[in-house]
Structure formats: C-alpha cells, structure tokens
Structure 1
Amino acid sequence: MKRSSAVIRRVVLAAAAVALAAGCTPDASGTGTGTGTPSASASASSGTPGASPTDSPTSDGKPPSPSASAPTESPSGSPSAGTPAPKALLGDGDENEQVRELQARLRQLDFFDRAPTGFYGTMTAGAVKKFQSHRGLPETGTVDETTWQRLLSVSRKPTADELKPATTNKLDTPDPRCMTGRVLCISKESRTLAWMIDGRVVSSMDVRFGSENTPTREGLFKVEWKARDWTSTIYHTPMPFAMFFSRGQAVHFSADFAARGYAGASHGCVNVRDKVKLSALFDEVKVGDKVVVHW
C-alpha cells in the first residue's frame, strides 16, 4: 500500500513538471488560457530577468525579428537640417560695383530691363529669382556662390557702356531753355535728367517725380544750395546729393526709386536712382546753375 502511494505521488509530480515545462500557466487575466509565453509575474517568480515579450527568444532559440509596427529610432536631425544654408554674396540693400555687374549680366540675358544702378533692391531680387528659376536653382532672390558662378558661365564680362549706360529712358528733344549755359534739363515726358552745357548733353540719368498730391513744380529755376548728406526735415528720409532748386524741392538720390522704380513716387523732388552717376554730377553742378523742369 505504501509502495502504491509512492508510485502515485511520483506520477502526479511528473505530470505537474510536464505541464510547467509546456508553459501552460494562467495568463494575467486569470482565465486559465495558456499564452505560450511566461507572464511578468511568472518570470519574476522563476528568477529570470524580467524581459519584454519582444526580447524573449523564439522557440528555435533565435532572437525575434523586430516588429514591423515597432517604432525605429531615427538619428537626431536629418542631413538637410544639419547642412548650413548657402552664404549670400549679394542681397537686399547691398550697394557696390559687384551689384552693378550682376545687373549688367542679368540685363544681357533679358532678366533685368533697366540700366544698372549698383543698388540691390526688389527689382534686382526679382530678376535674380527669374534667373534662378530658369536655371533650376532655389529661388531665394539672393546671390550665393552657386548662383554667381552659374551667371558667370552663361554671360560675358560687361563693357563700360553696359555697366554705366547713358540712361534707360530715351532722351527727348531738349526744351529750348536748355540750349544755353549750364543746365539740369529735366523732362517729365521721358522721365530723364540731362546735364547739358551749351546745348551738349554731358550725362543723363533716369528720374522720378512727385505724385498728384505732391507734384514736382515745372518751370525755370536755379540751384539754390547743395547738400551731400541731407535728411528731410519734413519726411525724415535721407536725401543724398541733394541740389535744391524750388522751395524745398531738390534733385537727389532715392534708395526707394532704386529699389522699386516707378512703382512709387516722390514728395515733389526729382528722384535719381543711380547714386554713382549722381555723385559725379553733384561734384560738377554749381550753385546758380539753371534747372529746367518741363514736359
């Protein structure tokens, strides 16, 4: 009898060992349904380090392949995010001879439709964007090394006349009052200023006038006084190379005219957009020289 009891006990223990080895333990819900993988509590009670199911070896002893839905760690920052933007060589507000060359080269390719001024404004930026678009470059409106080299490769070195042409606008027939003496002959019709001495045009440049509310006065005047650096006491805007001729109205350089062209207007003054040419003219003109503003 004792031997029979011992045999029965060994059979029961063996069956229990088989069941445990098969993993047929209750799941966490306590329903008694086997999951085939040890639960977290079972792992802890067995002394096995608590590993997540994806870290557990498969039945063939190999580590499991990553789940397709499992997120993958991406490197910090994409390659493009770590790449610095190209350094701008020329951009808005720049004023130098390289800008003048840029404008002359763009004009050769029909992207810039006016005389070079040497000032980088909205019109120059728009021309650069058109060139960049045509060449498959990022349309930034500023000139980086790639844009500059591409422009050099498809254009030629500008001549002196291309860099500093007489004017963009064609001169009209001078007013008769401009045919004698030293005269700033200013035409509203052709929107030009011609510096004339005894009927001969010495230099010329584009100009812009006042609006309907602040018109530029017409008539025969004289240069009353000059100021190389002047700021309007009414509008508080810079008026470089100002040559006053009629109660506060003057011929002067306008950065706004250089940037926007005829999209804007002055407050009555005669705006010039080519600062280099106006600077040379300023040095030639004397107080007392005639000023003729006409249609």
Structure 2
Amino acid sequence: MGDTRRRAAVVLGVTALVAPVAVVANAGTAQAASCTTQTGPYQKQVEKFLGRPVDGKQSTADCKAIQAFQTKHGIKPNIGYAGPVTWGVMDLMLKQKAVGSNPNKAGKCPVNKGRIACVNLTLQLSWIQDGKKLVYGPVPVRTGRDGYETRTGLKKIYWRNIDHVSTIYDVPMPYSQFFDGGQAFHSANLSMWNPPGSHGCVNMTTATAKKYWSLLKKGDDVYVYGRKPGT
C-alpha cells in the first residue's frame, strides 16, 4: 500500500451516535454531577423508558435514574435532565429493538452479492447476510457524526489490520477492516449509544468486531445506506 493510501486508511472512526449534539463524551471522566430538579420536555417518555412512575414531574429518584443512564452512555451534561439528547438515545434503542431478527425487511441491502456486511445509518444497526440468509446480527453500531458522515454506497473491504493504531490520533482501532478510504469497521471501548458520532468509521463492541473479523475477508462487500440522525 502506498504512503498516500496508507495515510488515508488511518483516519479515525472513534465515537458515534444518534442525537445532534456537539459534545464528545469522555468515558474516563464521566463522573456524577449534581442532579437537576428541573422537569425536562421528554420527562414522561424518559420515565416510561426507565420503568419509573409516569407522572411527568421530576423527582430525586427520577433524576438519579436518568443520570445513571446518561453516565453509562456518555451523555453530557449528565445531570439527570430529560432533554432531547437523552430521549433521542432511548428512542433509537426502542427502534433498534423493534427491528427484531429481520433487519433487511425492506430489502435495501443487496441480496445478490453473497456474503455482505450491511450498515443502516438511520437505525445505527449493522449485520452480515449471505443472500437472503441472516448470518450475524443485527447489532448496534456508532457511525460518523455531522461533518464526518460514514459514506453511503456499495464498497469492498480492501485492508484488514487486527492491531491497527491511528497514526493521526494515536488511538487504538482493534480489528480494523477498511472499506472506504479511512473508514473501517473496528472496536471502540465505549457505549454504542455515545454521542455525537465517529470520524466516519463504524464503531462496534469488541465482541462484535471480533465476530466481523472472523466472518469477513478482504474483497467482501459492504453496503452502507440511510442517514444517521443529527447529520
């Protein structure tokens, strides 16, 4: 691989999600903040999602439950406020769950390519299929944030590096499988619902990235479609 292409292949894809925020959460500094007493605009929806009494009024217990969710997924500020970012994450989780075991129900990912890795940006889901047969997934992923969108279309895996480290950001990108310039599947050590998004890569849990590594090979097709919320 030439120097230009190799440099293109190391553009980092760490961080992705769902709601239009400009704050990147740092899991290492996600410490508990003071709880707010303010009722949020999505109070009832958030209460229902968390299994809290649905009265639409903020309580100390509500705040602590919301704050725990925010801290777990790197949502900032993590003050227990039921705002649009927090509800956006929850709403996405519900939509992902509703997909069940038929992620290609609409037939948007090609079924005439043999084994192919599909990425639905709208639902932040990925899976591997072989023809019409689901091989693995669907699993939640984190794709490019606004301005660093994961590019759509049909692509192929052209380079794999199990121990890749970004030479631009000096950040580990384990199980990297590059499919479009510097954009790759790779594991990321943070919540798959952590805002605001990656620098274009498709982030996965370590378990998922290992599975993709074992199921895919150089030359396999990748199809990316849809539009990530907030981009």
Supply the RMSD in Å over aligned alpha carbons.
2.7
Residues in 2 aligned to 1:180 and 1:211: alpha-carbon distance in whole angstroms: 28
Q: How many residues align?
A: 137
| Pair 174,278 (structure 1): closer, same or farther in 2 beyond 3 Å | farther
Higher strand share: 2
- Cα deviations across residues 98-123 of structure 1 (Å, max 9, x unaligned)? xxxxxxxxxxx969xxxxxxxxx941
Question: CA contact under 8 A between 1:184 and 1:196: conserved in structure 2?
Answer: yes
**Pair 220,243 (structure 1): closer, same or farther in 2 beyond 3 Å:** same
CA contact (8 A) 2:158 2:179 kept: yes
- 1:210 is paired with a residue whose SS is coil
Quick one: which amino acid aligns to residue 251 of structure 1?
A: F
Structure 1: distance between partners of 2:72 and 2:134: 28
Corresponding residue number in structure 1 for 2:72: 123
Equivalence for 1:266: 198
Tell me, what secondary structure is at the counterpart of 1:271? strand
Q: Does 1:199 align with 2:132?
A: yes
Contact residue 169 and residue 192 of structure 1 kept, 8 A: no
Deviations 1:131-151 (A, max 9, x none): xxxxxxxxxxxxxxxxxxxxx
**Structure 1 moving runs of 4+ over 3 Å:** none
Structure 1 residue 248 displacement after superposition: 1.0
In structure 1, what is the equivalent of residue 221 of structure 2? 290
Query: Is 1:224 the equivalent of 2:158?
Result: yes
Judge conservation of contact 2:146–2:197 (CA < 8 Å) in 1: no
Q: 1:264 to 1:169 in 2, by over 3 A?
A: farther
Higher relative contact order (CA 8 A, sep 6+): 2
CA distance, structure 1, for counterparts of residue 98 and residue 124 of structure 2: 7
Measured after TM superposition, the shift of residue 180 of structure 1 is 3.0
1:280 to 202, 206, 211: 211
Distance 1:182 1:214, change over 3 A: same
Matched-pair contact (CA < 8 Å) for 1:178–1:292: no
Q: Is the CA contact 1:183–1:292 (under 8 Å) kept in the aligned structure 2?
A: yes
CA spacing shift, 1:231–1:175, aligned 2, 3 Å: same
- Deviation at 1:178? 4.1
Q: Give unpaired runs (5+ residues) of structure 2.
A: 1-26, 29-49, 53-69, 76-95, 227-231
CA displacement 1:244-291 (0-9 Å, x = unmatched): 001111011111344xx242310011111x311321221121100000
CA apart distance, 1:228: 1.2
Give the partner amino acid of 1:288.
G
Q: 1:243 to 1:125 in 2, by over 3 A?
A: closer
Q: Tell me, yes or no, if the aligned pair for 1:169 and 1:206 is still in contact at 8 Å.
A: no
CA drift at 1:179:
4.3
Instruction: Determine which structure has the larger helix proportion and give its number.
Output: 1
Residue deviations 1:157-202 (CA, integer Å, cap 9, x gap): xxxxxxxxxx757235342524431100111122111101122111
The DSSP-based 3-state class of the residue aligned with 2:210 is helix
Tell me the SS of whatever aligns to 1:213. Answer: coil
